[in-house]
Amino acid sequence: MSELINNSRSRKEKLKEILLQIHHGGSTESVQNELLLSLSQIPYGEVVEVEQELIAEGLPESEIMDLCDSHSAVLEGRVDLSALKPVAEGHPVDVFRNENQEIRNLTYVILSLISEISYGPENEMSAKITKLRGLFNNLYDVDKHYQRKEYLLFPYLEKKEITGPPKVMWGKHDEIRELIKGCIEVLQTTEMTKEEFKAISEIVLNSAVKAAQDMITKEEEILFPMALDTLNEKEWYEISKQSLEIGFCLYDPEIDWRPEWAEEESINESQKSGSHIQLPSGSFSAEEIMTILNTLPVDITFVDKDDKVKYFSQSAERIFQRNRAILNRDVRHCHPPASAHIVDKIIEDFRTGRQSRAPFWIKMGDKMIYIEYFALRNDKGEYLGTLEVSHNIAPYRELEGEQRILSYK
């Protein structure tokens, strides 16, 4: 046993040393050669532990993100997956893997079309560039794949104190989203020369495709094996039940996976019991107050005084995706790393009493989304938490005159 432990420590120290060489500018080719000479196949759990240790030792997450692509290139095909647990058809990991195959296939089609445009007849370029833009629109479907990781899988890993890899991977998700958006934007111009297209391909298009392909490697060689070792069947079932709320990526699962012990769930009858919540100005049953909150034309999310997400409304047309997996999750982990400092600022200003409201408004397609954060305080002025309210105000901006006659339009 001690020999196994020592071997593991030795491998991790060597892997850490090699990754830091990359961080300090070592060439990937020379590092790959050193890896081959120094290490046999590396257990996937050790790769995760090394990444966590680098963060714990003070390497900033932003630099880990920069290192992420390089160490994936070095480790690709060299991670030991012999202990990988099998999964049933329709299991969340099975769905992720099937989506990855569709993503991989799509990237091959994209690369083939890029080559056709680069070396084919110039008079066919415009039509093929339009087709290529459509393929990148399809590739942006990875957003749903990534959201299911961010909002369903990552919270369970964080509860097991695996926080480093999810943060780093979420940052890479955001990079890939922006790269694909950049491809879609640059391909709006279909009239360009061969030289211009080749330059765009080199700088933008190929980078987006490679990033999407690299993420597949990170998931299948590191993330999914680690998650299968970490989560229990009940937790996977919770992820499975909530996956449809976000949707699937380029793949529609044929099997609705359920563990053998799971029984058909019914509506919680206690919600429909006669008990009422008494307030100073009236009372509600649990069913009534739930229906009222879900009927309001706004999204509501409540974060308590300990910065944990405690509630979100489930209106028919939610603007921002929410799933029950975020309940009791630190609100900072519910936002991309790039905006975490803004969340910290709002919470600190609310907690100290410096501010009580924080409004934002953003364009999302034809929607104008008004987002406002409110500090919640009791009669004594004590901070209870933060309420986020989001609303599509585009229809109201178009109103003119008055409407005094009944109309259901």
List, as one string, the DSSP characters of 52-118: HHHHHTT--HHHHHHHHHHHHHHHTT-EE-TTPPP--TTSHHHHHHHHHHHHHHHHHHHHHHHHHHH
What is the pLDDT at residue 5? 42
Q: Once rounded to an integer, what is the mean pLDDT over residues 59-81? A: 61
Q: What is the arithmetic mean of pLDDT over 372-396?
A: 95
Select the more confidently predicted residue: 167 or 143. Answer: 143
The neighbouring-strand residues paired with 357 are 374
pLDDT score at 77: 61
Domain boundary among 29, 59, 80: 80
Least confident of 74-78, 121-125, 236-240, 323-327: 74-78
Do residues 322 and 282 both lie within one domain?
A: yes
Q: What was the pLDDT predicted at 64?
A: 62
Report the C-alpha gap between 4 and 391 in whole angstroms: 56
On whether residue 254 sits in a domain, the answer given is: no
12 vs 168, higher pLDDT? 168
Q: In whole angstroms, what is the distance from residue 243 CA to residue 238 CA?
A: 9
Indicate whether 243 pLDDT > 70.
yes
Candidate from 80-89, 124-133, 275-284, 390-399 with smallest mean pLDDT: 80-89
Q: Can you give the pLDDT at residue 43? A: 64
Question: pLDDT band at residue 330, thresholds of 50, 70 and 90?
Answer: confident
- Assess whether 113 and 220 both reside in one domain: yes
pLDDT confidence of residue 2? 42
User: Rounded mean pLDDT of the chain?
Assistant: 84
Answer whether residue 202 is part of any domain: yes
- Tell whether 68 and 96 lie within a shared domain: no
Provide mean pLDDT across the span 114-142.
91
Q: What is the pTM of this model?
A: 0.64
Domain hosting 70: range is 2-80
186 to 45, 126, 130, 224, 294: CA distances (angstroms): 40, 13, 11, 34, 40
Residues 100 and 242 in one domain: yes
369 belongs to a structural domain: yes
pLDDT band, residue 122 (cuts 50/70/90): confident
Percentage of residues in the chain having pLDDT higher than 90: 48
Q: What is the pLDDT of residue 407?
A: 87
Domain assignment present for 409: no
Q: What is the mean pLDDT of residues 386-390?
A: 96
**333 within 8 A of 154, measured Cβ to Cβ:** yes
pLDDT value of residue 89 = 94
- 290 and 241 belong to one structural domain: no
d(C-alpha 29, C-alpha 26), whole Å = 9
Q: Confidence class of residue 270 from pLDDT cuts 50, 70 and 90?
A: very low
Asked if residue 233 and residue 111 are part of one domain, the reply reads: yes
Average pLDDT for residues 17-26, to the nearest whole number? 66
Into how many domains does the chain fold? 3
Average pLDDT over residues 251-261: 87
Answer yes or no: do 216 and 241 share one domain. yes
Mean pLDDT of 342-356: 95
* Res. 332 pLDDT band, cuts 50 70 90: confident
List the CATH number of the domain containing 208.
Answer: 1.20.120.520
Strands (E), 199-344: 276-279, 282-285, 299-304, 309-312
Confidence class of residue 269 from pLDDT cuts 50, 70 and 90?
very low
Q: What is the C-alpha to C-alpha distance for residues 265 and 376, in angstroms, rounded to an integer?
A: 35
Last residue of a domain, one of 210, 227, 246: 246
Tens of pLDDT, residue by residue over 195-227, are 999 999 999 999 999 999 999 988 988 899 889
Residues 100 and 237 in one domain: yes
CA 217, 219, 220, 222 torsion: positive or negative? Answer: positive
Q: Are residues 98 and 200 in the same domain?
A: yes
Tens digit of pLDDT for each residue in 81-97? 666 778 999 999 999 99
Which of these three, 47, 80, 113, is where a domain ends? 80
Do 277 and 224 lie in one domain? The reply is no
